[in-house]
Amino acid sequence: MTSTAGPPPTGGGDGERQRLRLLAVTACPTGIAHTYMAAEKLARAAESRGIDMKVETQGSIGAENVLDDNDVSTADGVIIAADKDVDLSRFVGKRVLVVGVAEGIRHPERLIEQVRSAPVHTASGTASATAAPTGRERSVAYKALMNGVSYMIPFVVVGGLLIAISLSLGGHPDPSGGLVIPKDSFWMDVNNIGVIGFTLMVPILSGYIAYAIGDRPALVPGMIGGWIANTGSLYDSKAGAGFIGAIVTGFLAGYLVLWIKKVKVPKFVQPIMPIIVIPIVATTALGLFFINVIGKPISWVFEHLTSWLGGMTGTSAILLGTILGLMIAFDMGGPVNKTAFLFGAGLIATGNQAVMGMCAAAIPVMPLGQGLATLIRQRFYTEQERETGLASLFMGCFGISEGAIPFAAARPAQVIPANMLGGAVAGAIAGLAGVKDAVPHGGPIVAVLGAVSGVPMFFVAVAIGTAVTAVTTVALADVSERKRHGAPVGHGVSADEPELALVGAGVGTPGAGGVVAERASRGGTATVGSAGSSTGAAAAVETMADAGSAGIDSANSGSANSGSADAEGAPGSGSGSPAASSDPEIRPGILPEALPEVPPEVLSGYLTEQTVKVGLDAGDKEGVIREMAGLLARTGKVVDVEELVATALRREAQGTTGLGEEIAIPHAKTDAVSAPVVGFARSAEGVEWGSLDGTKARLVFMIAVPEAAAGDEHLRILALLSRKLMDAGFRERLSAAEDESAVLGVLSEVG
């Protein structure tokens, strides 16, 4: 919450007006490129106006250049350029402007002007304050949903896999129905632990959606609301509302807390508002509202769906299987899913096992289909999603439909229709073939354990339904991508966030980042707020190293083609020193001038005159990548040109590698190359690369490293490049070099 109180005290202290002092905090969801690009842009804009500014970056390697109490006390204003929650409690009494991180990159000058008249943040303000008008309200809800999904995923994976393992190793079909694990066995304990993980999954989703909206006071009502939503017995329903109910309670809790925070209360009550009053009031109100208002319709739906299905038992098996498949796939554990499941399970005791056979074929389709989709269109998914997809495949084999919930929660418009279509197909085929299931469970596991009759057609139904779900998901994702003009699809990689990480290298993995790279090269503490010290593009290049898992200090230690030694002209550096040469044709007494000119070595020889081109022929991104892949192939280190191109294009689909300042660095980690190789080319007209600052790429580097060399070595390459690309003069010399030889001479400054 902010107010329009008068201006806060400024940092003079001696009665004489000092230079304006501003602070900034930049952060993006992944903490890779935009965090540092925004910091550099803001610092440079402040320096150009004679304003002192210190910028704290909250990147994937943690907070850097942290603002201390003294910084805050003397500040005249604070700019928060972030796409994730930033704690504002330390800025009470200061003018605070909250915008998205993209605004810090695109319009830093405007933000500096706006912060001077921004509202003053008060003690009752929320730590995730509403963005300024320049932000987009839609992104608030999206970020909240993604926050909940990201916290939920580990619970889904751990709970689901433990249940699956316990069923596969300790379970057996019981004549009375169901897959049974002996109560006193070790595997029952494993199963119980997994059930706890699944039980917590829905409240976690709800709680962290609420937290992203209303901060800590919203966490308790969000989690308790999610638990209530998932516990149907509290509102006379045999099935809870599942993950859809959790999304509802999460948003209700978050916005309810925001509303309560706006209520004016006496000053003596304010300290206990966030820890006692708000959580109690919000939790009670939300819980009673869900039980007495929302819960009743859910119970009504459950009862009437069950009654309706009961009247269909004599109808066409194909139609019934289609309807049951649609219901099973709709909410994966919610009232609609449970209605179909319990209907089928209840008929087993009457001797009708065909209905459960339809349900059993549909149950695994959602997790199997979504897992398959992550394999056939990897570029649509983040690294975390692809890992979740593998776990989803495993859970699908054991009939755990909840494995698909993270995908449905993240992209409901794409995933739920695809799930329903695949489930309907699987149910219809099972109904047509007369598949029967003797136990109230689904998935391939029941067929393996002998509970299914008509096993071949059961697997046919599952396989076709899975394929339909996967293909439909990919098709809908592709449509969505085209609508966004080629923007990447995937909640972990936004269209505005160029995550500069090698494909498969672990995007966002905590590790050495750009600030660490700078620190390693200078031995000092990085201060991003040092205005004019580097360009936004260079900062972004440095942060490419955030995708790695190793400290970048090793890049300068001499352990792997030491860049430091090369830069200093040590032996083996290729610096041109005759004394350092091991050429057997060189004899003592021969003047250096008489020696043939030795081409300078760049990046330990990975970049040579063979891989330099002063004029690109292609005019689009894909064409440039293909042209540069051919350039790298001149070295003989490219085993498969097409695979190299495909890998680089998949990386581009995850997020643009256009850094701004007319620079692009496409890159790939692939065994299509046998050794690290780097190329450089220039484009006179510039190539549209999707750079955030809108500039076309004229200076293009391409990096390719084999899988085995993707750790320290690619970090070292990026670190060396980043140090030089911070130098505007270096970029000017690179642009002005007349031919490949001259270009290589300039690039030799890299090391």
Per-position b or e across 159-179, b if 16+ CB within 10 A of its CB: bbbbbbbbbbebbebeeebbb
Residue pLDDT, tens place only, 379-414: 777 666 788 888 889 888 888 888 888 888 878 888
Q: What is the pTM of this model?
A: 0.48
| Active-site option among 34, 121, 491, 667 | 667
Residue 747 contacts residue 734 (beta carbons within 8 Å):
yes
C-alpha span between 596 and 593 (Å, rounded): 8
Lowest mean pLDDT among 294-308, 457-471, 732-746: 294-308
Tokens of 420: 């329903």
In this predicted structure, what is the pLDDT of residue 727? 67
C-alpha span between 627 and 669 (Å, rounded): 18
In this predicted structure, what is the pLDDT of residue 492? 38
Taking alpha carbons only, the member of 350, 496, 426 closest to residue 38 is 496
Residue 262 contacts residue 214 (beta carbons within 8 Å):
no
Q: Which phi and psi angles does 364 have, rounded to 5°?
A: -85, -10
pLDDT-based confidence at 315, cuts 50/70/90?
low
Tokens of 241: 């509302």
Residue 718 contacts residue 750 (beta carbons within 8 Å):
no
C-alpha span between 414 and 396 (Å, rounded): 19
In this predicted structure, what is the pLDDT of residue 494? 39
Interval 474-488 mean pLDDT: 67
Examine the pLDDT at 502 and tell me if it is beyond 60: no
In this predicted structure, what is the pLDDT of residue 543? 39
Residue pLDDT, tens place only, 201-211: 889 989 988 98
In this predicted structure, what is the pLDDT of residue 283? 93
Per-position b or e across 323-357, b if 16+ CB within 10 A of its CB: bbbbbbbbbbbbbbbbbbbbbbbbbbeeeebbbbb
Highest average pLDDT, of 92-106, 118-132, 169-183, 540-554, comes from 92-106
| Active-site option among 28, 34, 121, 441 | 28
Taking alpha carbons only, the member of 371, 322, 361, 369 closest to residue 462 is 361
Query: Which of the pair, 591 or 669, is modelled with greater confidence?
Result: 669
Examine the pLDDT at 369 and tell me if it is beyond 50: yes
Name the residue with tokens 């509303």.
Answer: 259
Taking alpha carbons only, the member of 499, 545, 482, 495 closest to residue 518 is 545
CA 99 vs CA 106, 158, 499: distances in Å = 11, 36, 20
In this predicted structure, what is the pLDDT of residue 311? 67
Count the helices and strands in the chain (H runs, E runs). 27, 17
Lowest mean pLDDT among 47-56, 421-430, 580-589: 580-589
| Kind and range of the H or E run holding 680 | strand 677-687
Examine the pLDDT at 304 and tell me if it is beyond 90: no
In this predicted structure, what is the pLDDT of residue 486? 44
Please, what is the average pLDDT of the chain? Answer: 74
In this predicted structure, what is the pLDDT of residue 549? 34
Query: CB neighbours (10 Å) of residue 315?
Result: 10
In this predicted structure, what is the pLDDT of residue 121? 86
Query: CB neighbours (10 Å) of residue 642?
Result: 11
Lowest mean pLDDT among 88-92, 103-107, 123-127, 628-632: 123-127
Lowest mean pLDDT among 105-109, 194-198, 457-461, 533-537: 533-537
Tokens of 522: 């200078």
DSSP assignment, residue 696?
A: P
Residue pLDDT, tens place only, 656-681: 778 777 888 888 888 889 888 999 99
pLDDT-based confidence at 365, cuts 50/70/90?
very high
Residue pLDDT, tens place only, 246-256: 888 999 999 99
Examine the pLDDT at 285 and tell me if it is beyond 80: yes
Taking alpha carbons only, the member of 103, 136, 132, 101 closest to residue 117 is 132
Residue pLDDT, tens place only, 523-564: 333 333 333 333 344 344 343 434 333 333 333 333 333 333
**Alpha helix segments (H runs only) across 316-411:** 317-331, 335-348, 354-362, 365-376, 383-397, 405-410
Taking alpha carbons only, the member of 543, 593, 497, 480 closest to residue 102 is 497
Provide, rounded to the nearest whole percent, the portion of the chain with pLDDT above 70: 72
Pairing relationship of beta strands 96-99 and 77-82 according to DSSP bridges: parallel
In this predicted structure, what is the pLDDT of residue 472? 93
In this predicted structure, what is the pLDDT of residue 349? 65
In this predicted structure, what is the pLDDT of residue 645? 92
Residue pLDDT, tens place only, 691-726: 766 788 899 999 888 876 555 566 567 656 755 676
Q: Which phi and psi angles does 141 have, rounded to 5°?
A: -65, -40
Query: Which of the pair, 34 or 68, is modelled with greater confidence?
Result: 68
Residue pLDDT, tens place only, 46-99: 888 889 999 998 765 567 788 888 888 889 999 998 877 777 888 888 899 998
> Is 667 known to be catalytic?
yes
Please give the angle made by the CA atoms of 340, 343 and 345, to the nearest 5 degrees: 110
Interval 173-180 mean pLDDT: 61
> Is 359 known to be catalytic?
no
Lowest mean pLDDT among 105-119, 298-312, 486-500: 486-500
In this predicted structure, what is the pLDDT of residue 165? 81
In this predicted structure, what is the pLDDT of residue 707? 74
User: What is the separation of C-alpha 471 from the centre of its chain, rounded to a whole number of angstroms?
Assistant: 23
Interval 136-158 mean pLDDT: 72
C-alpha span between 231 and 333 (Å, rounded): 11
CB neighbours of 169 closer than 8 A, spacing ≥ 6?
187
pLDDT-based confidence at 356, cuts 50/70/90?
confident
Query: CB neighbours (10 Å) of residue 514?
Result: 33
6, burial (CB in 10 Å: exposed 0-12, middle 13-18, buried 19+): exposed
Bridge partners, residue 107, by sequence: none
| Kind and range of the H or E run holding 160 | helix 137-170
pLDDT-based confidence at 314, cuts 50/70/90?
low
Highest average pLDDT, of 327-331, 377-381, 444-448, 599-603, comes from 327-331
In this predicted structure, what is the pLDDT of residue 116? 87
Taking alpha carbons only, the member of 229, 359, 340, 357 closest to residue 289 is 229
Pairing relationship of beta strands 2-3 and 667-669 according to DSSP bridges: unpaired
In this predicted structure, what is the pLDDT of residue 449? 72
Interval 610-619 mean pLDDT: 90
CA 321 vs CA 284, 327, 461, 523: distances in Å = 42, 10, 11, 68
In this predicted structure, what is the pLDDT of residue 487? 42
